[in-house]
Each structure stands twice: as structure tokens, then as C-alpha cells.
Amino acid sequence: MFDDFQSTLIDTDLAGLSAEDICRRIANLTLSTVDLLSNGHGWAPAAIQRRLDDAGLAYQSSLALSLSRWLTCESEGDLILAWVNLGALVEGAMQLLLITYDDAYKKDPNARRDKKNLVKDAEQTRFEDLRDFCAKSVWNPAPVAGYHIVSFRDWDPYVALVQNRRNAIHAIRRREIGSFVEWRQMLPLHLSFIRDIYQNKMDGRYPDDYSPNEND
């Protein structure tokens, strides 16, 4: 499955980097982004900043720093937890994207609604619904004209694989969890994924002359 989408999604400059290096870059970029979002007072709209302040951004930083701990593990239990770790970072990245594009998100007919027909905030939307929304209104190929929040590569195959592996934590019945080889192959994909979101597509949401950085 990995071979079906790796060539179109992994940034070419990541070839040859070690898993340790990739984990460090993921952590650096996530922490840098969280720092910008957490200190956005004065440039982010007040309503958005309040939501960011309440969003548990520190958890994203901690989860990003935790990725490297799974590099030396071998047990199935550790593999499931490694997928959960990666899945939480994927879910958080989608939520942060939609929070910063809240106006466009709330106007989109594919946005999830509650029992009162009010659009749910992105941070209150479950993984499956986030993925479905992004597949219809965010990732390329472009959906119906006028309903495209921002143009991306098609990240749905990556998001779907991580979600499916992560879901092994939810049930006692046996699920496909892949291997640590496959999990490590997802790391450069994840760095490419958050580069797309945190650097390329959320750039206009940052203060002038500021941008998240993955370098030490």
C-alpha cells in the first residue's frame, strides 16, 4: 500500500535521512508551529486565539517529541502505541488547519454538524469526520468548484493508512497493524504532510516575517 502513494507525497529532499533525523525535524517543526500559534495575540482574530489557547497545543508538542521513543521498539503493543502517537499528530494537524481557516470551513457544505444543525468546531470533530471533510474539500484532486478551502496534494491515502493502523487501539478483535518497518516509512511522509500544512498553507496566518522551522 505504501508504494502506491510514496512517490507523489514524500518531499525529495528527505531521501537518505535517518529515521532519527526525521523524528527530530517533525518535533522541531511541530514545536515551532505550536509556539507561533500559542503566541499569536495581536495577529490572530480574538475568537480563533481563544480556541487555540484552549486546544491543548502543548499535547501536540509532547506527542511530536515522543515519536523517537518508538524507533527502538519491537513488540506489537509498542507498534500499536506508535501508530496512536502518529495518528494523534495527523488528527491535530488537520484540526489546526481548519481552525485557522475557520471562516471557509464553517461555510463549507461538507462541514460536520451537530444535532442542532450547527457546524462543529474542528477541534470537536472526530478523526473519521475530519478525514472525510478533508477528502471532499481540502485535498486534491479538487472537489466541486467553490468548495475548496485550500489546494493540497492528495493526502487521503496517508491519512487513511495511519487512521486504520491507529484504530487497533479501540478493539479487542485483531486488526491489521503493519510493522515497524512500515511505521518508519510513514515518518518522512508525516514530515512532508506537516510541511504542507504548517509551512505552506498556514503561512498567511502567521505574523509577518515569522515562519515555523524544522531545523535545530
Euclidean distance between CA atoms 11 and 197, whole angstroms: 13
Higher pLDDT, 50 or 68: 68
Residue 151 has pLDDT above 70, yes or no: no
Residue 193 has pLDDT above 90, yes or no: yes
Helix boundaries (H) for the chain: 6-9, 19-38, 46-53, 57-66, 76-100, 102-107, 127-137, 156-166, 180-194
Q: Which amino acid is at 94?
A: M
Nearest residue to 89 (alpha-carbon basis) of 133, 112, 57, 53: 57
Residue 81 confidence class, pLDDT cut points 50, 70, 90? very high
Given this model, what pLDDT does residue 3 score?
63
Residue 210 confidence class, pLDDT cut points 50, 70, 90? confident
Residue 148 confidence class, pLDDT cut points 50, 70, 90? low
Given this model, what pLDDT does residue 2 score?
55
Higher pLDDT, 19 or 38: 19
Euclidean distance between CA atoms 189 and 173, whole angstroms: 28
Which range among 4-8, 17-21, 58-62, 156-160 shows the weakest confidence by mean pLDDT? 4-8
Residue 145 has pLDDT above 60, yes or no: no
Helix boundaries (H) for 69-144: 76-100, 102-107, 127-137
The mean pLDDT of 40-62, rounded to a whole number, is: 83
Higher pLDDT, 32 or 203: 32
Per residue in 84-138, pLDDT (tens digit) is 999 999 999 999 999 988 888 998 888 999 999 999 999 999 999 999 999 888 8
Check: CB of residue 23 under 8 Å from CB of residue 71.
yes
Given this model, what pLDDT does residue 34 score?
92
Residue 143 has pLDDT above 70, yes or no: no
Q: Which residues pair with 113 in a beta bridge?
A: 119
- The three-state secondary structure class of 113 is strand
Residue 64 confidence class, pLDDT cut points 50, 70, 90? very high
